[in-house]
Every structure is written in C-alpha cells, then in structure tokens.
C-alpha cells in the first residue's frame, strides 16, 4: 500500500503575531487543492538570529517554504542568506512593499514589530471610549460613574458633553453629570475618589448669554427661567457646594476652548501627556 506524499510545510515567521503572513499564505495555498496542499507552522515574536537558526534547521529537514514578516533589515538579510545556502524557498511578505513605500515617502519607516496591531488596538480603544461617553452622557446611568476614568460635573451648558467627546477621542472613559438644585446627585458620585471628578464652573454672565442663544435656537422664549440671572446664580451656588463637598478639582471654562480645558484634564489623568 503506497503512502501519500508528505505535505510541504510553510513556516510562517514573524516578529509579531504573524497574522499578516498567515493570511497571505492561506490565500496563496487556496489556489492549490483548496488550501490543503501545505501544512502551516507559525513562529511568532522572532527578534534574534538564534530563533531564525532554529527555524532554518527544522525547515532544512523537509520540503519547506519560509514565509516571513520581519521589519528589521538585519533579520531579513540573515534569513535570506541562510535560506539560500540551505536551498529553502522564502517569501518576504512585507519587504518589497516597504521598499516601494521607501521610494515615495519622505520619512524613514519606524521599523517597529507589531505596529499595525497597536494602531488597531488604539482605534478600538477610541471607539469604545466614544461609546462609553455616549452611554453615560448627561447622567443617563449612574453606574457609569463607577466605571469612568473621569467624571465631569457642572450645571447645564458648561461644555460637559463636548469635553466628554474630546476626551473619548483621546481614549479616556468619561461620564458626565448635570448638577440641578432640585435633583439630589446619585449616591455613586460620592463613592468614587475625588481625584477622578472634575467640577466645571463658568462666569454667570457668559452662561446667561449661552443659555439665551440655546433657547433662541430652539425657538423658545429667551426670557425663560432657564436663562434668568437669578436661576443661574442659584444653580452655580448649588454646584459649588456639591464640588466643595466632594473635594474635587474645579475648572473655570469661561472663555476657554474645549481643547484647552481637555488638555488640562489629560495632564491630570495621564501625568502630563
């Protein structure tokens, strides 16, 4: 009874996880016997020639191919030279594309293994932070106060939501809560460390102007209690009492851009980012 020939082995060598090379290899293998023509062996996080020597030694014992994604030129050069000496076919997945980029880009490549994965992780962290900010905006769910990295509190129209969204795009989990004299703050607000809470205050006259513009944009009477100076002073006095009770930092957002205030908050959260 004749034995079926042994499948060629494709060693997928990477200085990161190796997902990119494996995807390309599978795409090529699919053109041969529905992708079952070869055996795949992934070798991840390769960062020195000793690891490459082990792969080469194993590959030299059988019919093999080495497909690789190595960003460091010295590792690519070593692998190519040794594989050629051992007559092992190689496929440089990233090298030719990097060389093409090098001919048109004005800067040198970072040459950092796993960089694309880190960029992807940053992207998904940003998306998660934005979703968090939307979910816990305007005190919708007090449970978010316990999960947030930063909690913004203040009266209506003190830039709580714009600040939350700006910080979320910097991957900070932010919840915000309006302070209204007639509504007692949720008890969760008093459970969290004061260093996580930022109180926002504003000049009363400026707040009145903002609120009047808001009412006009909604087609409402600008003389409503919401924009009266008496009501505004009542709200701001109440907010300051709550902030003193919490012992939190207080930022005055009068005549300040969202970016300016957000960057001050980031310095606190990330120690000077």
Residue 95: which of 115, 75, 114 has the closest Cα?
75
User: How many structural domains comprise the chain?
Assistant: 2
More confidently predicted of 271 and 215: 215
Q: How confident is the model at residue 119 (pLDDT cuts 50, 70, 90)?
A: low
pLDDT at 261: 94
Do both 74 and 153 map to the same domain? no
Do both 133 and 264 map to the same domain? yes
Within a domain: residue 102? yes
Do both 109 and 237 map to the same domain? no
What residues contact 222, with CB distance under 8 A and at least 6 apart?
212, 215, 216
Edge-to-edge strands, sheet with 64-69: 39-43, 9-14, 64-69, 90-92
Do both 52 and 153 map to the same domain? no
Within a domain: residue 2? no
Do both 139 and 98 map to the same domain? no
The region of weakest confidence among 67-71, 120-124, 133-137, 253-257 is: 120-124
Question: Pseudo-torsion of CA 20, 23, 29, 33, nearest 10°?
Answer: 170
Among 98, 113, 128, identify where a domain stops: 113
Do both 86 and 172 map to the same domain? no
Within a domain: residue 1? no
**Percent of the chain predicted with pLDDT > 90:** 60
Within a domain: residue 129? yes
Do both 217 and 249 map to the same domain? yes
Supply angle C-alpha 180, 181, 183, rounded to 5: 65
Residue 63, domain extent: 9-113
Q: Can you tell me the distance from the alpha carbon of 117 to that of 136, in angstroms, rounded to the nearest whole number?
A: 28
Within a domain: residue 208? yes
| Tens-digit pLDDT profile for residues 72-105 | 888 989 999 999 999 999 999 887 877 778 778 8
CB 90 within 8 A of CB 67: yes
Within a domain: residue 3? no
Do both 105 and 152 map to the same domain? no
Can you read off the two tokens belonging to residue 65?
């191919």
Do both 185 and 243 map to the same domain? yes
Among 88, 113, 138, identify where a domain stops: 113
Residue 150 has pLDDT above 80, yes or no: yes
Do both 131 and 254 map to the same domain? yes
Residue 265 belongs to a domain with what CATH number?
3.40.50
pLDDT at 31: 83
Do both 33 and 105 map to the same domain? yes
Q: How confident is the model at residue 5 (pLDDT cuts 50, 70, 90)?
A: low
Residue 260 phi/psi, 5° resolution? -65, -45
Can you read off the two tokens belonging to residue 17?
């996880």
Among 113, 146, 167, identify where a domain stops: 113
Residue 24: which of 64, 83, 90, 68 has the closest Cα?
68
Edge-to-edge strands, sheet with 150-154: 174-178, 150-154, 197-201, 249-252
Whole-number average pLDDT of the chain = 88
What residues contact 254, with CB distance under 8 A and at least 6 apart?
202, 203, 206
Q: What is the DSSP letter of 205?
A: H
More confidently predicted of 4 and 112: 112
Within a domain: residue 27? yes
Residue 93: which of 70, 116, 114, 126 has the closest Cα?
70
| Tens-digit pLDDT profile for residues 23-74 | 888 888 888 865 577 889 999 888 899 999 999 999 999 999 999 988 888 8
Residue 121 has pLDDT above 50, yes or no: yes
Do both 61 and 176 map to the same domain? no
Burial degree of 158 (CB within 10 A; 0-12, 13-18, 19+):
buried
Within a domain: residue 192? yes
Averaged pLDDT for residues 168-174: 91
pLDDT at 115: 62
């Amino acid at each position: 009874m004749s034995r079926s020939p042994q499948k060629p082995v494709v060693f997928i060598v990477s200085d990161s996880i190796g997902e990119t090379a494996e995807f390309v290899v599978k795409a090529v293998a699919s053109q041969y016997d529905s992708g079952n023509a070869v055996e795949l062996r992934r070798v991840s996080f390769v960062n020195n020639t000793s690891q490459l020597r082990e792969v080469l030694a194993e590959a030299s014992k059988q019919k093999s191919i080495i497909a690789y994604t190595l960003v460091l030129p010295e590792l690519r050069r070593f692998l190519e030279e040794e594989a050629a000496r051992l007559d092992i076919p190689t496929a440089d997945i990233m090298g030719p594309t990097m060389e093409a980029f090098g001919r048109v880009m004005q800067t040198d490549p970072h040459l950092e293994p796993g960089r694309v994965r880190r960029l992807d992780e940053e992207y998904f962290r940003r998306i998660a932070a934005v979703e968090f900010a939307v979910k816990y905006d305007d005190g919708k769910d007090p449970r978010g106060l316990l999960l947030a990295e930063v909690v913004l509190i203040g009266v209506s129209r003190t830039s709580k939501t714009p600040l939350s969204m700006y910080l979320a795009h910097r991957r900070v989990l932010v919840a915000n809560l309006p302070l209204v004299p007639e509504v007692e703050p949720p008890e969760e607000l008093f459970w969290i460390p004061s260093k996580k809470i930022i109180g926002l205050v504003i000049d009363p006259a400026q707040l009145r102007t903002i609120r009047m513009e808001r009412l006009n944009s909604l087609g409402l009477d600008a003389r409503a209690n919401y924009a009266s100076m008496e009501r505004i002073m009542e709200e701001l006095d109440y907010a300051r009492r709550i902030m003193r009770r919490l012992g939190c930092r207080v930022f005055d957002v009068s005549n300040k851009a969202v970016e300016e205030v957000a960057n001050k908050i980031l310095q606190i959260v990330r120690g000077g980012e």
